Amino acid sequence: MQLFKTLRLATRDYQHEWKTSICFVLGLSAVLGPMMVLYGLKVGIIGGMFNQLIENPINREIRPVSSGRYERAWLGALHRRDDVTFVVPHTRNIAAMIELQSQRASRIIKAETIPSDHGDPLLDPIRVTPTGLHAVVLSRSAANKLKVDVGDTISGSIKRRYRDQSERVHIDLKIIGIAPLESFARDGVFADLRLVEALEDFRDGHAVPALGWTGDVVTGERTYPGFRLYARSIYDVENLERLLNEAGIDVRTRSTQIALVVKMERNLNAIYWLIALIGLVGFALSLGASLWANIDHKRKELSVLRLVGFRTGDIIWFPMIQAFYTAVLGTLLAVGLFQGVAWLINDLLGQQLSNGEPVCILYQEHYIAAAVLTIVTALISAILAGIRAARIEPSDGLREL
Amino acid sequence: MTAEANPISIYQIRNLLLDRESQGVSFRLAVPSLQIRQGEKIALIGESGCGKSTLLDILAFIAQPTESDGFLFHPEELDVGVHIDYHWRKRNLNQLGDLRKKHIGYVMQTGGLLPYLNVRDNMNLSRHVLHQEDDGSVEQLAMQLGIARHLNKLPETLSTGERQRVAIGRALAHNPSIVIADEPTASVDPFAAEKIMSLFISLAEARNITVIVASHAWQHVNKLGLRRLSHHTQRSSDGRTTETIVNG
């Protein structure tokens, strides 16, 4: 095998014919570069939309539309599912309202209490869990109106009509965290479920011994009118929705929006690959044709190699090695082009996008895929030229005809 | 030079024919008998189109004879001769190629140097294919050919005459048994041609290399002591068939 010698000669020839080589490389990057930019835009834009979908827990949220009677055990079973990350029961909405007052603001505001627990996706960013009857996390809007911050204590109060008497109770609440604006836009209080239950119990005329509130003593299993559930990922939402529907529970989800983005990605992918395929075939044909024609140009030199004893099997590598160089250099140049254009796009458009995510981006695996695809295509298109080169006989170039 | 002094013939050919047809004209080369001994210097003189190149191609195992009663190739280094006609019939092209690369050096009309290799690498090409180590012989040869100062230059920077010297160097560099040269000085002026030719012959002589040179018109055959192969060409009256008979 003279493969190493063929490699050396093909390399020297490629260097010597640098003008032709540059044309090959430019031709390749002219096809590959724009294709990478196109794909980068697809990855950036669709990827950004996906990230927003994935990062915002609201998209994974599932809530029943109308109130039902859900038991703790049933909700527990739901929680244990692999595709569910978090479930917390709800009390009745009206019963969950609480009036809040701080010493710093004169206003009294009405806020909703939101049952929370460990692993609540809405409180994920601040990593705080309200536990017990006197600790709460305020929503940003409520905290602003009350002019309070973490560590402050506020007073909550609720009233009821009990045995024809109006009664009001007060409870001190320590603020252990403030939820980000995205988690809850209205005035709200994230609280331990026990606190929310206590408020409901008091309103219903029941006793809450832990807080010293008097009333009727009630026994029996508690049921909840609703719950707040989060799927593991946006891809699990559709399945969970179907499952709950089958159980006779109408739920509200973002599955339509998710499906829209998924469908958009699929369509854009199809369009992209169609363009890429056309580009790739065009590149393969043009490189193949150039290499094929180049064999005529090199006929004499190749026949000299045959004359000094290179076998047909060695000669076949000659155009393939050169096609490999074209593919590698062309890919590198295309990557350079892409990075320049991507930088420009991100710099120009990035300022207009609030989240600051890149509009045009490719990841390592995309670069590797582009290189592998290009090299394989180049080698395939060089095979015909290689076979043609191998057919050259020593006598072909001996005399100028 | 007699058969007794050097009993082995490097080429032994009997009743060889090669027919070729192109554009309605048929051409036949007939070699009833040809013996070339090791170390002989042979000249084939004749106008172009008479079949010199075809004979050279046959002797270099490049062209396949249409038929032959015997085509034995027996260079000194081999214990037994090789039946070239057998390999052609079996289409053992790679074996023929191997024989060629080991035993034959070829000087092309226009040099046939690779433009992307410098003079040293061009001369070394035949050696490298045979995995011969660099032993300084290429430098020595370049000195003898008067091209030592060009060793690191690309062929395109040399004159035609210098390029032919490189081509001769390449044909000799791997110490073949035979060097076949097809019009090696056709593109050079007559004065330079004579100088190059005598240099070539003396280098081959010193290495006991058999030389076969084809040329269309050349006055120096006798001066350099080459044996001229006799051949005569007949054309049919309508010009459609040409037959060349070579003997020697």
Residue A344 lies in a domain: yes
Q: Scan for tokens 């230059």, then name that residue.
A: B153
Say yes or no: A31 and A121 in one domain. Answer: no
Q: If you search the block for the tokens 């394989």, which residue do you land on?
A: A376
- Is there a domain that residue B37 lies in? yes
**B2 assigned to some structural domain:** no
Element (H, E) at A27: helix A18-55
pLDDT of residue B202: 92
Q: Report the alpha-carbon distance of residue A283 to residue A273 in Å, rounded.
A: 15
Domain-located, residue A283: yes
Tell me the C-alpha to C-alpha distance, in Å, between residue A311 and each of A307, B58, B178: 9, 19, 21
* pLDDT cut 90: percent of chain A above it: 17
Nearest-CB residue to B62 (from A5, A309, A395) = A395
Nearest CA to CA, how far is A8 from chain B (Å)? 10
Distances (CA, A) of B105 to A138, A305, B100: 94, 13, 8
Query: Above 50 in pLDDT, residue A78?
Result: yes
Q: Per-residue pLDDT tens for B25-44?
A: 888 899 999 999 988 999 98
Is A12 in the same domain as A119? no
- The per-residue pLDDT for range B143-179, each reduced to its tens digit, is 999 999 999 999 999 999 999 999 999 999 999 999 9
**Which pLDDT value is given to residue A397?**
67
At B92, the pLDDT band (50, 70, 90 cuts) reads confident
As for how many domains chain B has, the answer is 1
Q: Does A62 fall in a domain?
A: no
Q: Does an H or E element contain B194, and which?
A: helix B190-206
To the nearest whole Å, the CA of B238 is away from the closest chain A CA by 25
Instruction: Return the number of CB contacts < 8 Å for A and B.
Output: 73
Decide if B89 is inside a domain.
yes
Residue A24 to residue B61: CA distance in whole angstroms = 37
- Name the percent of chain A lying above pLDDT 70: 97
- Determine, yes or no, domain membership for A255: no
Q: Which residues of A touch B116 (CB under 8 A)?
A: 9, 12-13, 15-17
Which residue of chain B has the CA closest to A2?
B129
The answer on A348 and A275 residing in a single domain is: yes
Are A300 and A353 in the same domain? yes
Q: Between B101, B109, B115, which is nearest A309 by CB?
A: B101
In a domain, A321, yes or no: yes
In sequence order, what are the beta bridge partners of A157? A99, A170
Residue B140: the pLDDT is 93
Q: What pLDDT score was predicted for residue B157?
A: 94
- Indicate if A386 and A273 belong to the same structural domain: yes
Mutate to test the interface with B, among A12, A20, A303, A308 (most CBs of B within 10 A): A308
* Cβ neighbours around B214 below 10 Å, total: 26
* A132 falls within a domain: yes
Rounded to whole angstroms, the Cα distance separating B140 from B170 reads: 12
Interface test with B, best of A3, A7, A307 (most B CBs within 10 A): A307
Q: Do B154 and A309 touch (CB under 8 A)?
A: no
Q: Which of A17, A307, A311 sits opposite B106 (nearest CB)?
A: A307
Predicted confidence band of residue B241 (pLDDT cuts 50, 70, 90): confident
Nearest CA in chain B to A6: B129
CATH number of domain containing B27: 3.40.50.300
Residue range B220-248: mean pLDDT, rounded: 81
pLDDT digits (tens, 9 = 90+) for A339-391: 999 999 888 877 666 566 788 889 999 999 989 989 998 899 899 889 988 88
Which among A330, A328, A292, A308 has a CA at the least distance from the CA of B130? Answer: A308
B3 lies in some domain: no
Average the pLDDT over A18-44 and give the result.
89
In a domain, B121, yes or no: yes
What pLDDT is attached to residue B113?
A: 92
Tell me the mean pLDDT in the region B174-201: 89
Instruction: Check if B53 contacts A (Cβ < 8 Å).
Output: yes
List the structure tokens of B189: 């002026």
Residue B147 is assigned to a structural domain of this protein: yes
Percent composition of chain B: helix, strand, coil (DSSP 3-state, to 5): 35, 30, 40
- Write the ipTM: 0.85
Number of domains in chain A: 2
The single residue listed with the structure tokens 């996390």 is: A137
Are A303 and A189 found together in one domain? no
Dump pLDDT digits (tens) for A120-177: 888 877 788 888 888 899 998 888 888 888 888 888 888 888 888 888 889 999 999 8
Residue B172: closest CA among chain A residues belongs to which residue?
A308
Structure tokens at A201: 């119990």
The pLDDT of residue B2 is: 42
For residues A36 and A124, membership in a common domain is answered with no
Same domain, A160 and A24: no
Confidence of residue B5 (pLDDT cuts 50, 70, 90): very low
Domain boundary among A198, A218, A249: A249
CA atoms within 13 A on the CB side of A191: 27
Burial (CB count <10 Å: 0-12, 13-18, 19+), residue B184: buried
Other residues' Cβ atoms within 10 Å of the Cβ of residue A109? 16
Strands A135-139, B41-45: pairing kind: unpaired
| Inter-chain touch A309–B117, beta carbons under 8 Å | no
CA distance A226 to A213: 25
Alpha-carbon span B239 to A344, nearest angstrom: 74
Q: Do A300 and B112 touch (CB under 8 A)?
A: yes
Residues A99 and A213 grouped into a single domain: yes
pLDDT at residue B48 tops 80: no
**Which of B97, B109, B116 faces A399 most closely, judged by CB atoms?**
B109
- B chain contacts of residue A17, beta-carbon cutoff 8 Å: 116
**Domain edge (last residue) among A227, A249, A271:** A249
- Which of A267-281, B53-67, B172-186 has the least mean pLDDT? A267-281
Residue B118, domain extent: 9-247
Query: Residue A339 is encoded by which pair of tokens?
Result: 């990075």
Exposed e or buried b for every residue in A115-133, given b needs 16+ CB within 10 A? bbbeebbbbbebebbbeeb
Chain A CB within 8 Å of residue B178 CB: no
Q: Is B129 on the interface with A (CB under 8 A)?
A: yes
Looking at the fold, whether A235 and A183 belong to one and the same domain comes out as yes
pLDDT average, residue stretch B56-77: 91
In terms of phi and psi (left: phi > 0; alpha: psi -120 to 50; beta: otherwise), the region of B241 is beta
Q: Taking CA atoms, what residue in A is nearest to B124? A: A308
B4 inside domain: no
Same domain membership, residue A120 and residue A47? no
Which structural domain range is residue A290 located in?
3-54+260-397
Q: Single out the residue in A206, A227, A249 at which a domain terminates.
A: A249
Q: Which of B100, B130, B182 sits opposite A398 (nearest CB)?
A: B182
Residue A39 included in any domain = yes
* Most confidently predicted of A194-203, A280-289, B114-123: B114-123
Nearest by CB to residue A395, choosing from B57, B98, B130, is B57
Residue B1 has pLDDT above 50, yes or no: no
Least Cα separation, residue B170 to chain A (angstroms): 10
Do A157 and A284 belong together in one domain? no
pLDDT in the model for residue B3 = 42
In a domain, A97, yes or no: yes
